[in-house]
Chains A and B, each alone.
Chain A
Amino acid sequence: QVQLQESGPGLVKPSETLSLTCTVSGASIRGYYWSWIRQPPGKGPEWIAYIFDSGNTHYNPSFKSRVTISIDMSKNQFSLRVKSVTAADTAVYYCARGYGPGYASAGYWGQGTLVTVSS
């Protein structure tokens, strides 16, 4: 059974860059879609981006060029960077894997990590 674990700082200052890592265990990182999704307090989830293997990425246009998703197959990890954060980026951030090969959204979720943007 695939397991995903997010890691990163719980507190980030406005205008700084948020960096999160998702460590995958119980399955290879190859051959699946890997996503980042966030959920502001009291709201529904918001899809941010996905990456497939090492090259195919797709982003939510609402984040414009602020976000970058990347993958490190040697470590079975993938990451998210969000530049120039504001209070509106405060949310629980989840990493997720597609339910099966070719499933480009969330099938299995990590437990999530709360990120607060505040000075």
Chain B
Amino acid sequence: EVVLTQSPDTLSLSPGERATLSCRASQSVSSSYLAWHQQKPGQAPRLLIYGGSGRATGIPDRFSGSGSGTDFTLTISRLEPEDYGVYFCHQYGYSPYTFGQGTKVEIK
């Protein structure tokens, strides 16, 4: 099973700042099968990034995904107040598909 480890656990930033979220895989994962989801309290997750760097429909261009091999990054270029929540990385290249434990983004 591919274990995804996210860091940091919590990120506390002010609006307008840049957020960098990391996801490390226990073995190499094709970026074609790496996604990022955002989840707000009491809501279902929402797909942000698929295939490593593709933005899902309706996702603002301040969200970007990058990386390869075992190291992947989600960057939010300029934080908006509505960007608070928990972000999960997800690999769907190897069965069983797995998720990271999440990074909580807090808005200062």
Contacts and interface: CB of A to CB of B under 8 A. Distances in A.
Interface of A: 43-47, 58, 60-62, 94, 99, 103-112
B16 to A, nearest CB: 28
Interface majority SS on B: helix, strand, loop or mixed? loop
Contact of A44 (B50, B96, B101): B101
Interface in B79-108: 88, 90, 92, 95-102
Contact of A61 (B44, B96, B99, B101): B96
Contacts of B47: 99, 106-109
Interface of B: 35, 37, 43-47, 50, 56, 88, 90, 92, 95-102
Given A61-B95, A106-B37, A110-B44, 17 more contacts: A44-B102, A45-B37, A45-B45, A47-B92, A47-B98, A47-B99, A58-B95, A60-B96, A60-B97, A61-B96, A99-B50, A103-B50, A105-B35, A107-B47, A107-B50, A109-B44, A109-B45
A112 to B, nearest CB: 5
B70 to A, nearest CB: 18
A111 B44 CA distance: 5
B49 to A, nearest CB: 10
A23 to B, nearest CB: 15
B96 A106 contact: no
Contacts of A47: 92, 96-99
Contacts of A46: 99
A44 B100 contact: yes
A105 B97 CA distance: 8
A99 B56 contact: yes
